[in-house]
A and B are shown apart, each in its own frame.
Chain A
């Protein structure tokens, strides 16, 4: 098994390529312009072996703490095998309903052929998302600090949070369409709400849970009220604030997809919805792949920031 491990992706690739080129396509499927699927697999495996070589040299210079060179080999082989089977069941044999399960060549082909529109949609969606997340985060953060530190703010704002917060952000759509003249602003607002609620709740509760002796110690060291808030309260509540932000961002993905279905002209959620209406399922799958990658990247960035900001609390909270 150990000797086989580096070769597994290659073996799996060979099997997939044989199926792709040697087995004739079912006549029920529309032919694709190019063998995109087969090319993509070759590129993926090539990239993998380049990365593995880089890892090999890294391990050589570094100590044994690094992962083994071909750690992800079996996983990649498994993925290729799965896609190979999918290829057999769709374009090769047409065992799955042809309309809803298009050829992989056409799914991946869409990503290439439709790229101008897709990139435009990604830009549009990310714009709305960033605007909404930034707004919801900033307002939630400062409101949370106010509620956490001030009795008056708690008295007046807390009931508002309790009542307005739990309303699903998408339920605001009918009102927002009246208030905002532009669908984009309405979409950003929906995303803002969905980020705001968990952020404000977890910020204020995080601050309320900070050990009182931290504040006492800081005041004997000469800290003023503002310094107690920003040098003690906020960093001490940071794990909780991040949890809120994480929940908020996950919720914002749902909000984004829904928001884009209310009269948007672009956006990746709109793209998927529009292609579904056109019964162009290869484009729908392509859109889903784009969404997955997009959100994966957003979450990865968030985790990187978290590791940097919360490096001090190793092993306290894991998520």
Chain B
């Protein structure tokens, strides 16, 4: 199994239109063992999405570096799959071609085209190959987007609030799906979320972050067996612990930055 991740002194600053310098991330050190499910949680502006984008290779850190399996992250690559809140399916391709996209651009399509139906089945979209994204519901699109990211066998799957736009029922359903997929495909998953309940339900490790300065406040290991019971006393205790940390952070002035 591969997919250990290391953040070493990662800082990110950027300049706003008005010329101000903003610390989007002020010095992050984090070690993630392979095969873990990690949730990054915190209010807006705490740098959790920035961390994920740097890990994906979409943004470069101002200082420090990120390593995946001791290899420095330089640019986006298919060893790190990425799923956004918006499924971002390519609307001009049907679901099959969307899922096949990664294989096609890497010239693996001929060799591995049989995998496509396997992954369609994995995310529960069998029979929707010919549909176009606009014909499917938000939850189904997010499933397709998962399959598209997973088919390239990423070492780590990065999830940027992937369930944020879904309704409560679909959301809980998708949480279980993520756990099932992770158990089946064996990879590191890193998920950004706003939802404390979701984090405690899913994660092996919860990284609680605070804004101003944007940094890691606390890393909590969750020692609960899967599947988890949302009414378990330990579950409830963890949830209130995280909420307490976040509440403390929430007293800081609430400013949002758009990168």
Residues of A within 8 A of B (CB): 211, 213-214, 216-224, 227, 231-232, 235-236, 238, 312-315
Q: A221-B148, A221-B149, A222-B105 are in contact. Are A216 and B82 (CB under 8 A)?
A: yes
Residues of B within 8 A of A218 (CB): 101, 105
Question: Is the CB of B228 closer than 8 A to any CB of chain A?
Answer: no
A151 to chain B, nearest CB (A): 18
- 21 A-B contact pairs sorted by A residue (CB < 8 Å): A213-B86, A213-B88, A214-B88, A214-B90, A217-B84, A217-B148, A218-B101, A219-B75, A220-B57, A220-B77, A220-B81, A221-B81, A223-B105, A224-B105, A227-B105, A232-B90, A235-B90, A236-B91, A238-B92, A312-B93, A312-B134
Chain B residue at minimum C-beta to C-beta distance from A217: B88
Residues of B within 8 A of A (CB): 56-58, 75-78, 80-82, 84, 86, 88, 90-94, 101-102, 104-106, 132, 134, 148-149, 152
A236 contacts B84, C-beta separation under 8 Å: no
C-alpha spacing A128/B149, complex, angstroms? 49
Residues of B within 8 A of A313 (CB): 91-92, 134
A219 contacts B90, C-beta separation under 8 Å: no
B76 contacts A216, C-beta separation under 8 Å: yes
Residues of A within 8 A of B94 (CB): 312
A316 to chain B, nearest CB (A): 8
Residues of B within 8 A of A220 (CB): 56-58, 76-78, 80-82, 149
Chain A residue at minimum C-beta to C-beta distance from B108: A222
Task: Please count the residue pairs between chain A and chain B whose beta carbons lie under 8 angstroms apart in the complex.
Answer: 71
A221 contacts B105, C-beta separation under 8 Å: yes
A306 to chain B, nearest CB (A): 13
A239 to chain B, nearest CB (A): 9
Most buried by B among A218, A220, A235, A314: A220
B23 to chain A, nearest CB (A): 23
Residues of A within 8 A of B92 (CB): 235-236, 238, 312-313
Question: With contacts A213-B84, A213-B86, A221-B106 known, what are 17 further pairs, Cβ within 8 A?
Answer: A211-B88, A214-B88, A216-B58, A217-B88, A219-B57, A220-B80, A220-B81, A220-B149, A221-B78, A221-B101, A222-B102, A223-B101, A224-B105, A227-B105, A232-B90, A313-B134, A314-B134
A236 contacts B106, C-beta separation under 8 Å: no
Contact of A217 among B57, B82, B91, B132 (CB under 8 A): B82
C-alpha spacing A218/B104, complex, angstroms? 11
A173 to chain B, nearest CB (A): 40
A312 contacts B132, C-beta separation under 8 Å: yes
Contact of A222 among B58, B77, B86, B93 (CB under 8 A): B77
Most buried by B among A218, A221, A238: A221
C-alpha spacing A302/B90, complex, angstroms? 24
B165 to chain A, nearest CB (A): 14
C-alpha spacing A222/B105, complex, angstroms? 7
Residues of B within 8 A of A224 (CB): 105
Q: A220-B149, A221-B152 are in contact. Are A312 and B91 (CB under 8 A)?
A: yes
Residues of B within 8 A of A217 (CB): 82, 84, 88, 148
C-alpha spacing A242/B92, complex, angstroms? 14
Chain B residue at minimum C-beta to C-beta distance from A221: B102
Chain A residue at minimum C-beta to C-beta distance from B78: A222
B191 to chain A, nearest CB (A): 15
Residues of A within 8 A of B84 (CB): 213, 217
Contact of B90 among A222, A236, A314, A315 (CB under 8 A): A236
Chain B residue at minimum C-beta to C-beta distance from A238: B92
Residues of A within 8 A of B149 (CB): 220-221
Closest 5 CB pairs of A and B: A221-B102, A222-B78, A219-B76, A220-B82, A223-B105
C-alpha spacing A218/B90, complex, angstroms? 9
Residues of B within 8 A of A238 (CB): 92
C-alpha spacing A149/B209, complex, angstroms? 37
C-alpha spacing A227/B109, complex, angstroms? 15
C-alpha spacing A235/B77, complex, angstroms? 22
Residues of B within 8 A of A221 (CB): 78, 81, 101-102, 105-106, 148-149, 152
Residues of B within 8 A of A211 (CB): 88
Chain B residue at minimum C-beta to C-beta distance from A216: B58
C-alpha spacing A232/B132, complex, angstroms? 16
C-alpha spacing A61/B149, complex, angstroms? 44
C-alpha spacing A50/B148, complex, angstroms? 51
Chain B residue at minimum C-beta to C-beta distance from A222: B78
C-alpha spacing A312/B133, complex, angstroms? 9
Residues of B within 8 A of A235 (CB): 90, 92-93
Residues of A within 8 A of B132 (CB): 312
Residues of A within 8 A of B152 (CB): 221-222
C-alpha spacing A218/B77, complex, angstroms? 9
Residues of B within 8 A of A236 (CB): 90-92
Residues of A within 8 A of B58 (CB): 216, 219-220
Chain A residue at minimum C-beta to C-beta distance from B105: A223
B68 to chain A, nearest CB (A): 13
